[in-house]
Structure 1
Amino acid sequence: METGFTKWIIVITVVMCCLLELIDTSIVNVALTQMMGNLSATQQEVSWVVASYGIANVIVIPMTGFLAEQFGRRNYYLFSVILFTLASMLCGQSTNIWELVAFRFIQGIGGGALMATSQAILIDTFPPKQLPLGQALFGMGVIIGPTIGPTLGGWIVTNYEWPWIFYVNIPVGIMASIFTVLFIRDPERIKNAIPRPLREIDWLGIFLLILGVGSLQLVLEQGETEDWFESLYINFFTLMSVIGVVGFIWRELTAKQPIVDLRVLTRSRNLAIGAFLSFILGFGLFASVFVFPIFCQRILGFTAEQTGYILLPGALLSGFMMPVVGKMIQGGVPQKYILPVGFITFFLFSYWMSTQISPTAGESDFFWPLLLRGFGLALLFLPITTMSLSGISGKDAGQAAGLTGMIRQLGGSFGVALVGTYLERSIAQNRVGVASNVSLYDPETQQRLQGLTASFMSKGASFLDAQQQAYAALSGMIMKQTSIITYGQTFLMIGAFFLLCLPLMLLIQRAKPGEKVDLNAAH
């Protein structure tokens, strides 16, 4: 355990790296339009800038425990920081879209390791009594990172050019590399670990992991763009994901030295439940951060910066609440009592948001619901993490941490894909319902059209032009009302996922007297 100045230098280093990794999952979203213009790319091509990073992330995260043991955790972490920093520089210097996609994939390889390994380093930095604080700092990065990404990206794109969303990583990465060399040390269990000979490494497991999870992430990232199963391309990679995932599960359950030991799920009921709850947590975290900015910017006309500032107070509340929740768990409050409150709170947030969605909504209308979201997330992240790892020790804890991290990431991808598809298709369906209630023979409709026509004529339009503009304006009103209905339904759908998790609380096993969470082994 480190103390004093060294301890807090390590904390600053790993939390900043964790934040950088998570910010980079969403920071590029607001710069895609500018990238399309500068790199002469289509919308479909530029979507790979987001997809390649996510695919690399979800492949690397479950393998971090093995890689840390094989090469030493500090060495692996240092390599990942340097790789992430170098890839960030190369992303900014890309001259065409496919160069950028390739460098984003490399950046995702380094970033996935930062996310998984930062948690373990924080845990080793704090003594057992202060572990909740270490977990709270890590959780703060997990929740705040995706939230401030669009805000930071919007500010950079507004004031500078898109390459600067990558260049801002470079000074932080350089400092993190220096501090890693000077201050971070491997614990004894890592120093004494014997690397596996090359012939004993589970190469087939690695291949099936890349094939299965990589193909699945690709389908989730590109499905909406490719019109899902209407595309031969999506059907092919769906088949590859099924073959890869099924083969990976079979291999890891039968291999003597698996790359990811899935048998740990069969040894702990709480871990199996926690893995599912991590999926739901990722779903709610990323889906709500995805849908709210779209509504604010497309319907209300807010900028990316404005939207980010609205989201920020709730994220900060989550960070503030993390140590409080950690103290509750440390004081003996069972996770199975905290989690239902968190799930109900998130459902109430979703329901509240569905009632606030309106064409006249302002920033103040979302302040309290988003604070409630931040409060609910704080009641979920730490309890799920500590419950999943309770009673697990040694290598099993490292495998468990990697699995829950990967599943949380996949949950986020499923959430964004499902919400994106739901929005697109439900808007089309709801439009039919709304339009059926609007008749050109209805006196109110005719009165509205006459008023609009007169308004456009007063601005200099001819009668025919003004009439066409009036019909277009009426169509826009119908579309806006349709969108309002659909976004409200979307928030209710997200909340329903959380409410449906409540029966699982009955299956959680309470920790045995004296049983501890061996987070120190979580690589």
Structure 2
Amino acid sequence: MTDLPRSAAGGRSPWLIASVVSIATFMEVLDTTIANVALRHMAGGVGASQDESTWILTTYLVTNAIILPVSGYLATLIGRKRFYMGCVAVFTLASLGCALSPSLPVLLACRAIQGLGGGGLAPVEQSILADTFPPERRAGAFALYGLTVVTAPAMGPALGGWITDNYSWHWIFLINLPFGALSLFLVSVFVKEPEAVREDRRRAREENAGIDWVGFGLAAVALGSLQVVLDRAVIDDGFWSPLVTWLTVACVVGFMLLIPWERRQARPAVDVRLFAHRSFLAAALIMFLVAFTLFSTTQLLPQLTQDLMGYDATTAGLTLAVGGLGTVVAMPIAGRVTGLVQPRWVILVALLWSGGALLYATNIDLQMGFWHVSTLRVLQVMALPFLFVPITTAAYVGLPPDKTNDASALINLMRNLGASVGISVMNAVVTHGAQFHQNRLIETATEANPLWVEQLRQTEQALRGAGVGAWEASQATLQQLSGQVAGQAQVLSYMDAFWLLGVAVLTLWPLVFLMRDIPKGAATGGH
């Protein structure tokens, strides 16, 4: 394959570059999902309460969200390779700090720094891939890269459960050290900074004497506030919390000021003008939905199996790992299919499959076994490679070559926002849905309902037959049936969540017709 002007291969195989730059994102995404499972263990290790421990996740997500949209801007100003290696180094060293943290404040500070490093990885990696492969061959490259993004969330809970069940939570962060060191070495040796990218940096510095600090600040306020609101809304009773209320106001005001400001800048920190490209806009919106679905279900299924079915952390994580094997098989096929068929048609079929699988997942009950749960997961995630690969491929079609850094940053921002919004919204659906269904079920638990009366009689009779006294049997019957009502209410709330996700996926199919076709045999100098 002939090198493109902006290729990072430097005469080497572009597939080698694709493999090298996938290492750090695998480390970052894996670390995020592992940390979710180990939260209780980390809280105990640093003397934090359960409520305080949620800030271990929130601080990372806030700084990660802040750096994501401006990472393309920073990569252009600093130099793509230099910025990328700096992000890997910051993430790796912060991971060591997290592992050695003696208290909650130190751990939160290290997690914030870790988020800054992690936020810059994926955008630069995707920019490198977009510049190193011509449009008609990007699908295969993004398929290889997509293995890290899609399988790491599936492996994380299982690995995190195993580590926390058998070792110390400190290893959640220590396992990042060899990954980080390997990534730094391979990037320094094999990834090149082409002259066209260096010219972008020189031109950016000449055109813009100073950094867009206003854009930075507004993005930090808007996205940082949004992330805290999403993470704390359910925990802090929504708008009854002054923190949630004021941060919501800050988020809205931040976005209202950010968008018009950045549209007027010659070199904006967040290039919102990219959303004017219809193919990019459609790709960004569908990516948001893919992440919304993937990460919310990644949280819902282990939560369901642990809270209601008695699974330990390792077994609950294994249900996701089985689905991860499905994505490993499907990802190369998705890359091949996307190289042969225009992305819009692949995405359309995958949306229909994904929506149908989510609707099928409403057939859940507390008697289903491990393989039933795993099958539901496999059906859900088998469509994800056929969404991720064509979406990422189509996002760059028609964009100027020097905008790949900014486009990658915004696509990854949409992915992260989709994950955060999905987890927050679906947690709220499950929490409030359980209360709603429990109230409705209790309304039927009266003497006017013959089924309820018969259930009471049979349960009490069984207890008395086991030798329990009359009064104790009566009380135990009410307690046992109350537990069953609460459990059934929770199951119904999970069914609601899967139904809403399925409907949401199925209603977005018209977006695929906004996407432009990938040019076949396009000139190597452009996108």
Q: TM-score, normalised by structure 1?
A: 0.92
Corresponding residue of 1:297: 306
- Note if 1:366 corresponds to 2:373: yes
Letter in 2 for 1:131: R
- Cα distance change of structure 1 residues 336 and 217 upon mapping to structure 2, 3 Å threshold: same
Alpha-carbon shift at residue 228 of structure 1 (Å): 0.9
CA offset digits 1:466-521 (Å, max 9, x no partner): 43332211110001111111111110100111111022234334456655798x98
Alpha-carbon shift at residue 224 of structure 1 (Å): 1.0
- Note if 1:265 corresponds to 2:275: yes
Q: For residue 251 of structure 1, give the secondary structure of its aligned residue in structure 2.
A: helix
1:392 touches 1:517 (CA, 8 Å); kept in 2? no
Find 1:349's aligned residue among 344, 348, 357: 357
Find 1:279's aligned residue among 271, 274, 288: 288
Q: In 1, Cα distance between the equivalents of 2:49 and 2:362? A: 34
Alpha-carbon shift at residue 412 of structure 1 (Å): 1.1
1:18-97 equivalences in 2 (<5 Å): 18-97=25-104
Alpha-carbon shift at residue 440 of structure 1 (Å): 4.9
Q: For residue 62 of structure 1, give the secondary structure of its aligned residue in structure 2.
A: coil
Q: In 1, Cα distance between the equivalents of 2:515 and 2:134? A: 27
Q: In 1, Cα distance between the equivalents of 2:497 and 2:351? A: 17
- Cα distance change of structure 1 residues 6 and 304 upon mapping to structure 2, 3 Å threshold: farther
- Cα distance change of structure 1 residues 476 and 4 upon mapping to structure 2, 3 Å threshold: farther
Letter in 2 for 1:153: G
Find 1:385's aligned residue among 387, 392, 397: 392
Q: In 1, Cα distance between the equivalents of 2:337 and 2:14? A: 24
- Note if 1:410 corresponds to 2:417: yes
Q: In 1, Cα distance between the equivalents of 2:475 and 2:107? A: 43
Letter in 2 for 1:309: L
Q: In 1, Cα distance between the equivalents of 2:222 and 2:92? A: 28
Corresponding residue of 1:132: 139
Corresponding residue of 1:340: 348
Find 1:211's aligned residue among 218, 221, 227: 221
- Cα distance change of structure 1 residues 354 and 393 upon mapping to structure 2, 3 Å threshold: same
CA offset digits 1:123-153 (Å, max 9, x no partner): 5555766432221111111111222211111
Letter in 2 for 1:40: G
Q: In 1, Cα distance between the equivalents of 2:524 and 2:383? A: 23
Q: For residue 382 of structure 2, give the secondary structure of its aligned residue in structure 1.
A: helix
Alpha-carbon shift at residue 242 of structure 1 (Å): 0.8
1:484-495 equivalences in 2 (<5 Å): 484-495=491-502
Letter in 2 for 1:337: W
Q: In 1, Cα distance between the equivalents of 2:524 and 2:299? A: 33
1:58 touches 1:213 (CA, 8 Å); kept in 2? yes
CA offset digits 1:297-345 (Å, max 9, x no partner): 11111222222222223323223323322222322x2222222111110
Over the matched positions of the two proteins, sequence identity in percent amounts to 30
Corresponding residue of 2:475: 468
1:151 touches 1:304 (CA, 8 Å); kept in 2? yes
Find 1:254's aligned residue among 228, 249, 264: 264
1:339 touches 1:383 (CA, 8 Å); kept in 2? yes
Q: In 2, Cα distance between the equivalents of 1:424 and 1:180? A: 45
Q: In 2, Cα distance between the equivalents of 1:38 and 1:440? A: 50
- Note if 1:196 corresponds to 2:197: no
Q: For residue 362 of structure 2, give the secondary structure of its aligned residue in structure 1.
A: helix
Gaps of 5+ in 1: none
CA offset digits 1:402-439 (Å, max 9, x no partner): 11110121111111111011111111011111112222
Corresponding residue of 2:235: 225
Letter in 2 for 1:253: R
Alpha-carbon shift at residue 395 of structure 1 (Å): 2.2
Deviates more, 1:455-464 or 1:277-286: 455-464
Q: For residue 361 of structure 1, give the secondary structure of its aligned residue in structure 2.
A: coil
2:362 touches 2:495 (CA, 8 Å); kept in 1? yes
- Note if 1:173 corresponds to 2:180: yes
1:62 touches 1:403 (CA, 8 Å); kept in 2? yes
Alpha-carbon shift at residue 79 of structure 1 (Å): 1.2
Alpha-carbon shift at residue 397 of structure 1 (Å): 2.7
Q: In 2, Cα distance between the equivalents of 1:135 and 1:380? A: 11
Letter in 1 for 2:87: S
Aligned residues: 517
Letter in 1 for 2:346: I
1:72 touches 1:191 (CA, 8 Å); kept in 2? yes
Q: For residue 327 of structure 2, give the secondary structure of its aligned residue in structure 1.
A: helix
Letter in 1 for 2:491: I
CA offset digits 1:225-281 (Å, max 9, x no partner): 111111111010001101111111011111122112212222x11111222111111
Corresponding residue of 2:6: none
Corresponding residue of 2:511: 504
Find 1:319's aligned residue among 310, 328, 337: 328
1:316 touches 1:374 (CA, 8 Å); kept in 2? no
CA offset digits 1:30-88 (Å, max 9, x no partner): 22222232322122211111111111111112212121122222211111111111111
Q: For residue 314 of structure 1, give the secondary structure of its aligned residue in structure 2.
A: helix
Q: In 1, Cα distance between the equivalents of 2:325 and 2:390? A: 19
Q: In 1, Cα distance between the equivalents of 2:224 and 2:456? A: 52
- Cα distance change of structure 1 residues 443 and 52 upon mapping to structure 2, 3 Å threshold: same
- Note if 1:183 corresponds to 2:193: no
Q: In 2, Cα distance between the equivalents of 1:77 and 1:434? A: 55
Q: In 1, Cα distance between the equivalents of 2:253 and 2:524? A: 35
Q: In 2, Cα distance between the equivalents of 1:325 and 1:208? A: 38
1:392-407 equivalences in 2 (<5 Å): 392-407=399-414
CA offset digits 1:194-217 (Å, max 9, x no partner): 152784221100110101111111
Alpha-carbon shift at residue 457 of structure 1 (Å): 6.1
2:136 touches 2:518 (CA, 8 Å); kept in 1? no
Letter in 2 for 1:476: G
2:130 touches 2:404 (CA, 8 Å); kept in 1? no
1:143 touches 1:318 (CA, 8 Å); kept in 2? yes
1:10 touches 1:179 (CA, 8 Å); kept in 2? no
Corresponding residue of 1:437: 444
- Cα distance change of structure 1 residues 126 and 16 upon mapping to structure 2, 3 Å threshold: same
Alpha-carbon shift at residue 451 of structure 1 (Å): 4.8
1:235-254 equivalences in 2 (<5 Å): 235-254=245-264
